[in-house]
Structure 1
Amino acid sequence: MSAEVLSRDRVAVVVPIYRHSALLIEAIESVLAQEAEFGIVLILVNDGCPFAETEATCLDYARAHPGRVIYLPKPNGGLSDTRNRGIRFALETFPEVEAVYLLDADNRLRPKALARALAALEAHPEAGWVYPNIDMFGQRYAGDYGGPYSQLLHAQMNICEAGSLIRRAVFEAGVVFDTSFRKGFEDWEFFLSAAAAGFTGVNLEDFGFLYRKRPESMLREAEREGAAIRLAMREKHREAFRPAMLMRLEQAEAPRFAIYLSDRDEVALSSDPGQETERLSPEAFSQRIWLSQSDPSRHPSPPFMVVATEAGLEQLEAAKMLHWAFWALEAAADQKGISALLLQPGSEGRAGLSQSDRPEGRQVLANVLMIRTALLRETLQDESAAWINSLASAACQPAIRLLELNLPPQSAPIAGTAVFSFLSMVQRLRASPWRRGAMMQLGWRKGDIAIREAPHLILRRELSDGVAYPRLRDGGRHVGILLPLIEFGGVEKVALNFVRALRSWGFEPHLFVLERSDAAISDEWRALVGSINFLADPAFRAWGGGQGAYLGTEVPGWAQDGAHGRLLGMLHWLDVVISFHGGAAAGVMGQLRRLGIQTVSSLHLSDLSAFGRPVGNTYLSAAYEHAFDYFAPCSHQLADWCHAMGIPQDKIVAVPNAPSFPLPAEIAQASLRQRAGRDPAEPLRVMYLGRLDAQKGLERLAEVMTSAEAPRFDWRVIGGAVMAGAPLPAVVARHVEPVLTSPEELIAAYDWADVLVLLSGYEGLPLTILEAMRQGVVVIATDVGAVSEVLHDGENGVLLPLEGAVLGCLSALDRLSRDRALLRRLSERARADMNARDWVEAVRPLAQRLQAGFKSAAQK
């Protein structure tokens, strides 16, 4: 090699010095003794060290090695400032320097360290720095930081020692040591900044770096104050710790699931079952499993193994439940070690989940099986396979949780083979040629990146240890629709119409059922939402268990003291969460906001306590006002109430209720003609349509029905009970017809009726009233909630005071029965007044606010 090349300074070594004057000579001599075919410049930066020996030593070496050793004294400014001073000088003074090495004054290098490090940097042009394993002297220890560099792991722990060789381009990109980190961990923060700037690192197995370890050191002091340091680091690097970023890094660097597709005989790796990263042959997967067995801190393998068929996963995806299934299975496997999912055809228009820890042999029918990889490794070490093979029997020895999921009946059942396919894979792994070598411990360093064995826990720690829903953000605008249950109530109908309208504004809604594991999920729900999810948390109760109250409304126990991680983990990937009378779910809204998710409370009505006092979700939402970005009351009257309760006006976006289903123009015209041609001599057709519970004033309805009988009146009562309550009055029970769910059935019912009676004790703004009026049905209703916003007495219907409602209703029915011209006039006005009611327009103001929120977040 020519003398010119030998003399060129390709590496600068920067040594910050403070109070290590006696040890400094060892560090300097180790640099001067480097065996390299390139020039090395040594920059000694004295950070105002009070020991005269420091300056004397630096001056002696600078004079002895002019041009090769440079001395820079400066006032005390801390470690970061001192490093930055030396780096700046090196880059400005030596334009040919390609990389900078940082050596603390009490550490040292082996003779070939920098030559090996620069060669590694040249061999990895994608890397911004080369970092060492930690070989300690003083207190002897050898720590292994090998394996592929991971930004995900780096966000959790410092895996890169400051004694790294750093490419010049990193500093030229503006990455420097932050001088506000003055008590340690400066190197961790620096490399996080480098990663944020787009650089990565590469580990060098035998770098030749020697770290002096003493019982008391700055790092030990920093560890004592670690919580404060980590908090400061998180504040500066918010993006690095956001769940969306951690999920993206997990997918790219440490996929959570190894999915063995038995019908393809392939293993797909992914953290999002809808977006796999790569596919392996069983042989390649076997190699990875056994490598992770030999050294899990260096050779990662997915923390969960899943066994399924590609056809089975496609069926889950078609049912909008693929990601939820993996989330639920992971939560179950966490607790039991093994979980399984059995798919079964269910009832029309329903979906349901049941769980059992004693499946009594039903697990052999499972379509999907999940096992923690740590348990799989233990199984593979077992000399006998009898324990794991009992999975295929009724006398199953391993702990297992079986989830049974009812899918729509039109979903063709697929035979479950997951257990047998898993056991077959276990036998293949046990027979692998890699097994014997994996049982031998060859490394002499101790694996120091323990979290590499369980990288999925990094994201969980941001979610109160909740299992993270395995779905990547894809740039869409995903909205979570939270409901405690789904049956046939008005709130559920409002939610369905929100979903339809939000889709028209470019959002992708997702359904989350919080309290029940069985729901009336119609084909329309399935068509409109991107996913269907059950919280399935036995501890969650929308109401109850509270130790305090807000303005007379109990604050649910789960909201205050519950384990929020499960719900937080299920929702972390969303952009917006809308709670439709979700009760205790209000307790997690503040945490969702801190994750950057916009939160909305959709409000409909106040309930009444046993003493007639207004209570319920309206008051609970007001109690958690700080946790919601917006409040979406169903009426202007309720919006005024929200403001009067102390909710800022800017947070209130009224979304007035509209009919729950569209009415095609040709059907509306046919309905009009049919109603106009009705014989006035016929009995007046009177209908009640709604839930059969106490709120709806069924005792009052019974009194009216008893007095207004045939032949003048023809009654229909349509509905079902959602909440358990007192038995129905006999006269009401005799007329009850099943719940109507399809628009076609409801249109036919409204076509039949002349009058709708609704004598509720309290309401919001019932959809039934709006739908009836739209089809020309004259409504007789009590003046409760926001009913008076749409129903005007004597103009488009009959509005009754709650007191005296029975007599008022009987009088109105008598009058309408006798005066069909009055009936016709009220009918025509009701229909005209409802023409302008439309869900897409009703949701527009809220959709615009949410869209503005996306723009604001993108600009931050």
Structure 2
Amino acid sequence: MASSLPLPPRVAIVVPAFRHPTLVGEAIEAALEQEAPFGIMLVLVNDGCPHPETDDICREYASAYPDRVRYVRKPNGGLSSARNAGIRYVLAHLPGVEAIYFLDADNRLRPHAIAKAMATLDAHPDAGWVYPSIDMFGLAWHGDMGGDYSRLIHTDTNISEAGSLVHRRVFEAGILFDEGFTLGWEDWDFFLTAAEQGFVGVNCEDFGFLYRKRPESMLANSERDHATIRSMMHAKHHALMHPKNLAALEQSECPRFAIILHDSQEVIWALDPLAADTRQMEWSEYQRLFALHATNPNRHFAPPITIVTTTATFTTLADKGLLHWTFWRTERALQAQRFAAMALDMNGVGRIHFSHHNGRTGADALRVDLFGLMTSTLVELVTDNSPSSIDALAELGPGTDLWSTRLSMPAEASATGRSRGPDMFDAFLQRARTLRLDCYNAAWAIDWDWRRQTSTPRRHTHLIARNAFHGAPAYPWAGGKGRNVGFILPLVEFGGVEKVAINLARGLRAHGWHPHLIVVGATDIRMPDEWRQQFDTISFLDDPDCHIWDENDRQYFGTSVPHWATGNNHAIALGMLYWLDVAIGFHAGGLLGVMGQLRRWGVRTVTSLHVSDQTSMGRPKGNTYLATAFEHAIDLFAPCSLMLADWCRGMGIPPAKIVPVQNVAGYDESQERLAALHHARRARPIDAPLRILFLGRFDGQKGIDHLSRIYRETVRYGLNVEWRIIGKSVIGGDGYIAPADLQAIAEAPLISDAELTNAYGWADVLLLPSLYEGLPLTVLEAMRAGVVPIVTDVGAVREVVTDAANGFILPKEGLEMICLDRIKTLADDRDLLHRLAGQAYADRSSRTWQQATEQLSQRLLC
């Protein structure tokens, strides 16, 4: 036995005792036999043990070693209560003690355990505690807790046994064991609480801690109550285990991707490839770290997913806002296939589109710009005793084990058909062969660890964040980049809803927000550069199970509630959206079904409302009604007009939730350019034809049949007019076919803002004989340019058009004849035309989206 206490104690060993009247003696002897160059004080805590022998033995040791043993007796309160009693005793009576070790009454220590643990603590002044690997006796087993401490891993696995040495400053910070954790895992809760307050642990490889393992024990009971206790852990440590925080931990501790930039010899470790704190290294340093990981993947970390690409591809994807989605989609692909690849091309038509394939397909199938695989697969290939594995892969290619994506992105016409860089599959093979020839490879055949891995393996850290999404990948965003707002749309073409979304993004960006575009379902979207500039990222939710609309008999006020919205298969969508600060749905149908869970995670949820659709019998239905069905999950309703705001109130939406964002013109234009167009129009000859413009979709809603008959009548009567019909059908499913006479003269939809301005500059009149509308952007854009609107009395047009003051409003009854009369009047009376045009220009030329979104931005910050 060690000699009597020669020095003041630096360490106290707290031994709680309950129902171990015999084994507690072994624990006390193990504590007294510690050999250390400092004093060690034992604090025995009898937690109301019903066995009298426990009190007897504790009193005897306290009497025998008055300078080394203190005895505290208390009513039974549970293991946490007993440890806390010991902690409070040390803090109150032993001011020189720097750290406390917890030794349960049925466990043991080797003689140098405390000395080794304290030396480790001294060597790591930033550490809050030292924890052991697990060596069990009884049911013999050895568990490895080694490697760098990770809060991320700790959220998933109890890596710090209670038998740890904890620095005094942890307790002085107010951290104690939670006495409500009576079912077990109180040690996991304690150390997670310490981690939440900024403390970190450090593993002591050869600690000397011995854990008694029996088939039936408190630990066995804890395992039976696993689900209950884990639920308690998540409830208490909600912020730490929030998916957004797990992503931040993953970025800082266990980055998901090793990005090998083949042309630069640089390797990036990151979850978020564009975060400021990515780890960058030379290839030689990556080789060393990869070799350590291949030798012992449970102890030494390497990112679990490997990406091989070039600096040019990386930069291009980042510039187009598609880098995060590419990495997220690659990870999803690797759930299904062994390898993933992406081939890029550029187009000059301002579109983004992609397609997925199994294996390599297409004329350019053997050349890819990005290649990905799990790092565990790379380890298998590199450490295979036979070089044939890599050679066979090189000869046969990845075959059907490959998920390939072809992605086309917009570029200037001069950039299309760019020369391709080296094939990244070949680059991967080259890198794999280099790793195989590494000087460390002799170590790979040796099993270096005699302990078993007990915590989450470091090669699987990317799975921790997936737990919240039932195994679906978590979008690789690490946070710390300002306020992020997601714009969720089912398609992006030239429709009014899409243009409102883009301009809302522009307005909120002016208020300091970072907009992100999420497209649900569509794989081909319009994305000219002026739109692209409004979004930090562009992502596609291409989940084949996600059907945002389906007709069924579950109807809310006549509108079908999509089955997906109320189902339980939201994992992929939640994995894409969890990291946002705000999620705004733009007629995204079933995506309303995920708003409730997003709201529980602290995401502010908004629905942007524009127009009610109509059945063939003229009954209103659609997104507006569906939004009211999910009112409980939505923080704010953002209708595009005051009329729609009134409708929301009438449908039972609390007024405090309604924030109107009245539509403004769909793109920016300078006041100088608008004034020039207005003045040029007034300078036209008085006998010049009246120029009539229609700009919109060719579908039944837009009153195309009315438009066709009005057009034919102007020709038949020989009115002094000139027409431009611009648009096409983009929404299928209603079977509508535009009349042949309009199709014959129709121009393709306009792509750029400059083309739209030129069209409005050409026109005198905008004709929009719609059957139903919200607050059309084309009306606002036309009026801003001094074009006189002639529009049907539908939706909220009266909020901007005053009949016979800045335009004409057509009643639904007799629409065509009244419209012809208005056209003839303007063709004959140019003074009236100029007066209406001047008022339209004055009314709408100065309003901006920054002004329109100011109230919404303020409410989102509340």
Tell me if TM exceeds 0.5.
yes
Counterpart of 2:635 in structure 1: which amino acid? D
Contact 2:701 2:771 in 1 (8 A): yes
Look up the SS of the partner of 1:537 in the other structure: coil
Which residue of 440, 448, 457 maps to 1:434? 440
Q: CA deviation at 1:283?
A: 4.2
Name whichever of 241-250 and 381-390 sits farther off: 381-390
Partner of 1:785: 795
Separation in 1, partners of 2:369, 2:698? 39
Separation in 1, partners of 2:690, 2:467? 64
Look up the SS of the partner of 2:533 in the other structure: helix
Separation in 1, partners of 2:698, 2:172? 72
Look up the SS of the partner of 2:493 in the other structure: coil
Distance 1:394 1:620, change over 3 A: farther
Distance 1:391 1:789, change over 3 A: farther
Partner of 2:667: 661
Distance 1:251 1:664, change over 3 A: closer
Distance 1:547 1:216, change over 3 A: farther
Q: Report the aligned-residue RMSD.
A: 2.1
- Does 1:500 pair with 2:501? no
Counterpart of 2:752 in structure 1: which amino acid? S
Distance 1:262 1:804, change over 3 A: same
What per-residue deviation string (whole Å, max 9, x for no partner) do you get for residues 538-596 of structure 1? 33333126562211111122222263222222222222221111112111112222222
Contact 1:464 1:564 in 2 (8 A): no
Name whichever of 593-602 and 666-675 sits farther off: 666-675
Look up the SS of the partner of 1:528 in the other structure: coil
Counterpart mapping for 1:53-132 below 5 A: 53-132=53-132
Partner of 2:409: 407
Counterpart mapping for 1:607-646 below 5 A: 607-646=613-652
Separation in 2, partners of 1:475, 1:304? 24
Contact 1:364 1:392 in 2 (8 A): no
Contact 2:14 2:87 in 1 (8 A): yes
Q: CA deviation at 1:446?
A: 1.1
What per-residue deviation string (whole Å, max 9, x for no partner) do you get for residues 155-212 of structure 1? 1111000001111111112111111212211100110111112211111112111111
Separation in 2, partners of 1:387, 1:49? 62
Name whichever of 403-412 and 643-652 sits farther off: 403-412
Counterpart of 2:312 in structure 1: which amino acid? A
Distance 1:782 1:298, change over 3 A: same
What per-residue deviation string (whole Å, max 9, x for no partner) do you get for residues 497-522 of structure 1? 11211121111112222221111101
Partner of 1:242: 242
Counterpart of 1:370 in structure 2: which amino acid? G
Q: CA deviation at 1:76?
A: 1.4
Counterpart of 1:741 in structure 2: which amino acid? I
Separation in 2, partners of 1:396, 1:287? 27
Distance 1:501 1:315, change over 3 A: same
Q: CA deviation at 1:394?
A: 7.2
Separation in 2, partners of 1:107, 1:201? 21
Distance 1:283 1:675, change over 3 A: closer
Q: CA deviation at 1:810?
A: 2.2
Partner of 2:469: 463
Partner of 1:858: none
Partner of 2:151: 151
Separation in 1, partners of 2:37, 2:675? 92
Separation in 2, partners of 1:545, 1:797? 39
Separation in 1, partners of 2:361, 2:804? 65
Separation in 2, partners of 1:140, 1:496? 63
What per-residue deviation string (whole Å, max 9, x for no partner) do you get for residues 211-266 of structure 1? 11111211221222222222222222222112232112112211111122211223
Q: CA deviation at 1:389?
A: 4.3
Contact 1:152 1:253 in 2 (8 A): yes
Partner of 1:794: 804
Partner of 2:765: 755
Distance 1:539 1:399, change over 3 A: same
Which residue of 848, 855, 859 maps to 1:838? 848
Q: CA deviation at 1:681?
A: 2.9
- Does 1:849 pair with 2:855? no
Separation in 1, partners of 2:140, 2:393? 47
Q: CA deviation at 1:387?
A: 5.1
Contact 1:297 1:448 in 2 (8 A): no
Q: CA deviation at 1:395?
A: 5.7
Counterpart mapping for 1:248-647 below 5 A: 248-275=248-275, 277-360=278-361, 362=364, 364-386=366-388, 388-389=390-391, 396-397=398-399, 399-410=401-412, 411=415, 412-544=418-550, 548-561=554-567, 563-647=569-653
Partner of 2:182: 182
Distance 1:133 1:663, change over 3 A: closer
Separation in 1, partners of 2:382, 2:768? 66
Counterpart of 2:445 in structure 1: which amino acid? M
Partner of 2:830: 820
Distance 1:194 1:396, change over 3 A: closer
Partner of 1:191: 191
What per-residue deviation string (whole Å, max 9, x for no partner) do you get for residues 111-168 of structure 1? 2211211121112222111111111112211111111111110011110000011111
Look up the SS of the partner of 2:861 in the other structure: helix
Separation in 2, partners of 1:405, 1:470? 19
What per-residue deviation string (whole Å, max 9, x for no partner) do you get for residues 802-844 of structure 1? 2332222223223333333333333233222224532211111
Contact 1:495 1:580 in 2 (8 A): yes
Distance 1:658 1:314, change over 3 A: same
Q: CA deviation at 1:413?
A: 4.6
Contact 2:345 2:409 in 1 (8 A): yes
Contact 2:250 2:271 in 1 (8 A): yes
Distance 1:395 1:661, change over 3 A: closer
List alignment gaps of at least 5 residues for structure 1.
853-860
Distance 1:499 1:190, change over 3 A: same
Counterpart of 2:178 in structure 1: which amino acid? D
Counterpart of 1:269 in structure 2: which amino acid? W
Counterpart of 2:231 in structure 1: which amino acid? L
> TM-score, normalised on structure 1?
0.95
Contact 2:699 2:737 in 1 (8 A): no
Q: CA deviation at 1:662?
A: 3.0
What per-residue deviation string (whole Å, max 9, x for no partner) do you get for residues 48-86 of structure 1? 111111111111111111131111111112211111111
Separation in 2, partners of 1:8, 1:735? 98
Distance 1:58 1:477, change over 3 A: same
What per-residue deviation string (whole Å, max 9, x for no partner) do you get for residues 435-465 of structure 1? 2322222322111124322101111212343
Separation in 2, partners of 1:381, 1:119? 37
- For these two proteins, the number of residue pairs brought into alignment is 850
Distance 1:390 1:723, change over 3 A: farther
Q: CA deviation at 1:299?
A: 1.8
Contact 2:4 2:68 in 1 (8 A): no
Counterpart mapping for 1:36-51 below 5 A: 36-51=36-51
Name whichever of 387-396 and 365-374 sits farther off: 387-396
Q: CA deviation at 1:360?
A: 3.9
Counterpart of 1:723 in structure 2: which amino acid? I
Contact 1:480 1:511 in 2 (8 A): yes
Separation in 2, partners of 1:280, 1:425? 15
Partner of 1:855: none
Separation in 1, partners of 2:690, 2:284? 77
Look up the SS of the partner of 1:364 in the other structure: coil
Q: CA deviation at 1:427?
A: 0.9
Separation in 1, partners of 2:433, 2:551? 49
Name whichever of 30-39 and 376-385 sits farther off: 376-385
